[in-house]
Amino acid sequence: MEAILETKDLSIAFGGHVAVDSVSVQISEKKFTSIIGPNGAGKTTLFNLLSGQLSPTKGSVYFKGQDITKLRTTERTRIGIGRSFQITNVFPNLTVLENVRLAVQSQAKVRYQMIAHFLHYKRFEQKAHELLERVYLNDKANSLAVNLAHGEKRKLEIAMLLALETELLLLDEPTAGMSLEEVPAIIEVIKEIKRQGDRTIVLIEHKMDMIMDMSDEVLVLFHGELIAQGTPEEIVENETVQSAYLGGSYHEQLT
Amino acid sequence: MNIRSVEKSTWIFIIFSLLLFIVPFIVTGRSMQFIIIQIFIFAIFAMSYDILLGYTGIISFGHVMFFGIGAYSTAIIMNNMDATVLSFFVAILVAVIIASIVSFIVGALTLRLKSHFYAMLTLALAGLFLVAAEKWRSLTGGNDGFTFRLPEILRESHNLYMLCLIALILFFFGLRRFTKSPFGRVLMAIRENEARTESLGYKVLHYKVIASVVAGVVASIAGVLYALSLRFVNTGVFATDLTIDVLLMTIIGGVGTLVGPILGAGLVEFAHHWLSGLSNVHWIFERWIILYGTVYVLVVIFFPLGIVGTIQSKFTNRTVKGLRDNRKTVGK
C-alpha cells in the first residue's frame, strides 16, 4: 500500500506541555482514515502540523515521499493538502457564493489577474453553485457567511474544501456543533466523496458510531501519543484502547 | 465588450463624470474652481487609501509619505528643469518610480508586522520623510518650502481642472475594475480572514505588497497634482494631519466602496472651506479641527459604514458585524 502522507517522530511542545508526542504514522492513499481520542489528545494539533498551521518542534512530515515539514500552508494547499477547520473559519462579510468562488478561483490558479472583471470567469461561479448544491446550501448562496447558522457554516467549510480538489482531505470534526437533523446530510456528503474513491480522507471525530462503518483505518491518540492503529474492529478489541479510552472515565465522551 | 453586460452603476458613474466636465463652464470663479480641483486631488488620494484600508484591511498611518513623494518630486524637478510639459512628464515618472520602490519596501514589511504594529511603523516612516524634507535644505528649502514655475498650459485653472478630473475618472474606473478583478476579490478575502486565504492557497504577502504598491503609486499621482495646483511645496505635504484628513474622508464616505472616499473628500473640503469662512461669526469656526474631531467620533459611533456604505447596506440588506469590528480598531 502506497502511503500518501507520512509522519516521522512528529512532536510539538507548547512550553512544557507536549501536545503531540513522537507520532509516526502512515496514511494510505485513497483510504479513509479516522483519528479518534478524548478531548485534549492532540488531534487538532496533529492536523495543524499536517496542514502547516504549526511547525513541529521535532520530527518531519512527508507528502508522497517529499519532505514538506518546512513548507507553508499556502504551498501545502497547492501540492494537494486541503483541510477544513473545527472552529468555523470562513470569510464572514462575503457571500456564501463568493466564499466558495474564491476557493474555486485558487484551484483554477487564477491568482494575479487584475484587469478582467471577476464575472468574466463564469465557470467559477457555476462550479461554486454546483458545490453548494452538493452540500445542500445553494438556497443560501447570496446570504453573507456571517448570517449562516452554525451547521450551515460547517457545510460551507466543506464546500470550500471540496472546491480546492486536493488529493488529501483533512476534515476536522465536520459535524461538530451541528444539530442532530443536519448530521446525516453531511455524513452523506462525506460518504459520497469516499464512494468516488479518488481522494484520501483523514477525519477527526468524536462520534464513534459514525466513523466505525466508514473508516478503513482508525488511529487512536491519547495524551499526544499514538496508542493504537488498525481497522475499526481491531481498535474495538484493542486492550490498550479499551483501558485508556473506550472504557472507564472517558466513556461518556464517545456517545 | 458587450454593452449590455455593463453594470447599471457604471452608467451612473459615467453620467456623473460627464456632468463634471460641464462644471467649469458654470462655476467660473477661480477660488471655487480651486476648491473643486482640491477635491479631485484628495478624492484620488482617499481612493488609494481605501484600497489599503477598505479592501485589503491594512491600516496605515503613513500613507501621506507617498503623497509627499509625489509633491516633492514634481516640485524639485520643475524647479531644476525647464518649465515645460516634458519635464512635467519626467516628474510624474520619477514620482511613480520612487513611490513604487518605497511602497514595495513598506508593503514587504507587512510580512513581519501585523495591524497596529504596522500602523505605528508607517507613522514613523512618514515622520522620517518629514524630517528629511526639513533637513535637506539644499534640495527642499526646508520648512518654508519653495515655489516653482509651470509651463503656460498648466497654469491655466481651466486646464488644471480638466487634468485633475481626467485623472480622477481614470483612477476611479481603473481602481474599480481592479477591485472587481479576481485579484481584488482575493484582497477582500484577506481583509475578512487572512489565515483562511492562506490555506486556500493564496500567497497573502504578494497580494499585500501589490496592494501597497498600487495604493502608493496612486497616492503619489495625487501628490503630483497637488503640487501642481499650488505651484508651491513645503513640508506640509508630509504632515500626519493629511493622513488623518484622508482617513476621515474615507470613513465618512464609506470604507471599501471607492465612491465613498470621493464623496468624503468633497464633504471634508467644502466643510473646511465654509467653516473657516464662518470664523467671524463665532471663534469656534476658526478652530474647525475641533468640529472635525466631533464629526469623526459621531460617524464612527453611529455610521461606521460611512455614507455610501450605509446606503448600500440599506439596499442589499447586508450585515456588517465584521466590518464594524474592523472600524473600531481604526477608530482608536
CA distance A159 to chain B (A): 12
Compare B266 and A183 and report the one with higher pLDDT.
Answer: B266
Contact B201 A164 (CB under 8 A): yes
Q: Which residue in the set B201, B210, B322 is minimally distant from A93, CB to CB?
A: B322
Q: What is the Cα–Cα distance from A34 to A171, expressed in whole angstroms?
A: 9
B286: pLDDT strictly greater than 60: yes
Q: What is the Cα–Cα distance from B183 to B202, expressed in whole angstroms?
A: 10
B272: pLDDT strictly greater than 70: yes
B141, amino acid identity = G
**Inter-residue contact B41 to B229 (CB < 8 Å):** yes
Q: What percent of chain B has pLDDT over 90?
A: 35
B168: pLDDT strictly greater than 90: yes
In B, which residues are within 8 Å of A88 by CB distance? none
Give pLDDT tens digits for B214-236.
999 999 999 999 999 998 898 88
Torsion, Cα B35 B36 B42 B48, to 10 degrees, reads 180
**Inter-residue contact B37 to B20 (CB < 8 Å):** no
Contact A116 B181 (CB under 8 A): yes
| Mean pLDDT over each residue of chain A, to the nearest integer | 82
Q: Which of A94, A107, A122, A127 to mutate to test the interface with B (most CBs of B within 10 A)?
A: A94
Give the pLDDT band (50/70/90) at residue A118. low
* Interchain contact A51–B (C-beta under 8 A): yes
* Residue in chain A nearest B194 by alpha carbon: A91
Contact A74 B318 (CB under 8 A): no
**Inter-residue contact A220 to A188 (CB < 8 Å):** no
Contact A92 B189 (CB under 8 A): no
Contact B183 A146 (CB under 8 A): no
| CB < 8 Å from B in window 56-95 of A | 72-74, 77-78, 83, 85, 89-94
Q: Which residue in the set B193, B195, B318 is minimally distant from A144, CB to CB?
A: B318
Q: What is the pLDDT of residue B315?
A: 74
Q: What is the Cα–Cα distance from B167 to B159, expressed in whole angstroms?
A: 12
**Which residues of chain B are at the A interface, by a Cβ-Cβ cutoff of 8 Å?**
177-178, 180-186, 188-189, 192-193, 195-204, 206, 210, 318-323
Q: What is the pLDDT of residue B274?
A: 82
Contact B193 A91 (CB under 8 A): yes
Give the pLDDT band (50/70/90) at residue A1. low
CA distance A9 to chain B (A): 25
Beta-carbon count within 10 A of B160 CB? 22
Q: What is the pLDDT of residue A193?
A: 83
Give the pLDDT band (50/70/90) at residue B309. confident
| Mean pLDDT over each residue of chain B, to the nearest integer | 85
Domain spans of chain B? 30-331
Q: Which three cell numbers stand for residue A49?
A: 502540523
Q: Which residue in the set A91, A116, A144 is minimally distant from B196, CB to CB?
A: A91
Q: Which residue in the set B180, B189, B203 is minimally distant from A117, CB to CB?
A: B180
Q: Which three cell numbers stand for residue A205?
A: 471525530
* Residue in chain B nearest A83 by alpha carbon: B199
**Inter-residue contact B157 to B30 (CB < 8 Å):** yes
Give the pLDDT band (50/70/90) at residue B66. very high
Find residue A25's DSSP bridge partners. Answer: A7
Q: What is the pLDDT of residue A4?
A: 84
DSSP chain A: --EEEEEEEEEEEETTEEEEEEEEEEEETT-EEEEE--TTSSHHHHHHHHHTSS--SEEEEEETTEE-TT--HHHHHHHTEEE--SS----TTSBHHHHHHHHHHHHTT--S--SS-GGG-HHHHHHHHHHHHHTT-GGGTTSBGGGS-HHHHHHHHHHHHHHTT-SEEEEE-TTTT--TTTHHHHHHHHHHHHHH--SEEEEE-S-HHHHHTT-SEEEEEETTEEEEEE-HHHHHH-HHHIIIIISGGGGGGG-
Question: Which helix (H) or strand (E) is B185 found in, with range?
Answer: helix B182-192
Instruction: Give the domain B30-331 fold.
Output: ABC transporter involved in vitamin B12 uptake, BtuC (1.10.3470)
Compare B90 and B278 and report the one with higher pLDDT.
Answer: B90
Residues 6+ apart with CB under 8 A from A12: A18, A19, A20, A45, A49, A54, A55, A56, A57, A58
In B, which residues are within 8 Å of A102 by CB distance? 185-186, 189, 197, 200
Q: What is the pLDDT of residue A9?
A: 86
Provide ipTM, 2 decimals.
0.79
Q: Which residue in the set B183, B188, B320 is minimally distant from A113, CB to CB?
A: B183
Superfamily for the A1-80+166-177+198-255 domain:
P-loop containing nucleotide triphosphate hydrolases (3.40.50.300)
Q: What SS3 state is found at B232?
A: strand
Q: What is the pLDDT of residue A253?
A: 46
Nearest to A36 by CA among A208, A216, A213: A208
Give pLDDT tens digits for A120-148.
778 888 888 888 888 888 888 888 888 88
Q: Which three cell numbers stand for residue B131?
A: 524630517
Q: What percent of chain A has pLDDT over 70?
A: 93
Residues 6+ apart with CB under 8 A from A201: A31, A32, A33, A168, A169, A171, A190, A193, A194
Q: What SS3 state is found at B286?
A: coil
Q: Which of A90, A96, A112 to mutate to test the interface with B (most CBs of B within 10 A)?
A: A112
* pLDDT average, residue stretch B242-258: 88
Give pLDDT tens digits for A79-108.
888 888 877 788 888 889 888 998 888 888
Q: Which of A71, A74, A95, A121 to mutate to test the interface with B (most CBs of B within 10 A)?
A: A74
Nearest to A12 by CA among A68, A59, A60, A57: A57
Q: What is the pLDDT of residue B4?
A: 59
Give pLDDT tens digits for A195-252.
887 888 888 887 677 777 788 888 888 888 888 888 888 877 777 777 766 555 444 4
Give pLDDT tens digits for B180-213.
888 999 999 999 988 889 888 888 889 999 999 9
Domain spans of chain A? 1-80+166-177+198-255
Nearest to B45 by CA among B173, B204, B219, B276: B219
Q: Which residue in the set B178, B199, B203 is minimally distant from A114, CB to CB?
A: B178
* Interchain contact A195–B (C-beta under 8 A): no
Give pLDDT tens digits for B92-148.
999 999 999 999 999 888 767 777 888 889 999 999 999 999 988 888 888 888 888
* Interchain contact A136–B (C-beta under 8 A): no
Compare B90 and B286 and report the one with higher pLDDT.
Answer: B90
* Interchain contact A118–B (C-beta under 8 A): yes
In B, which residues are within 8 Å of A107 by CB distance? 201
CA distance A83 to chain B (A): 8
In A, which residues are within 8 Å of B201 by CB distance? 74, 77-78, 106-107, 164
* Interchain contact A241–B (C-beta under 8 A): no
Contact B319 A144 (CB under 8 A): yes
A156: pLDDT strictly greater than 70: yes
Residues 6+ apart with CB under 8 A from A233: none
B328: pLDDT strictly greater than 60: no
Give pLDDT tens digits for A52-63.
888 888 888 888
* pLDDT average, residue stretch B247-274: 88
* Residue in chain B nearest A117 by alpha carbon: B181
Q: Give, to the nearest 10 degrees, the angle between helix B321-331 and helix B240-253.
A: 160
Q: Which of A105, A122, A156 to mutate to test the interface with B (most CBs of B within 10 A)?
A: A105
What b-and-e string marks burial along A115-138, b requiring 16 or more CB atoms within 10 Å of the CB?
A: eebbeebeebbebbeebbebbbbb
- How many interface pairs between A and B have CB atoms less than 8 angstroms apart? 101
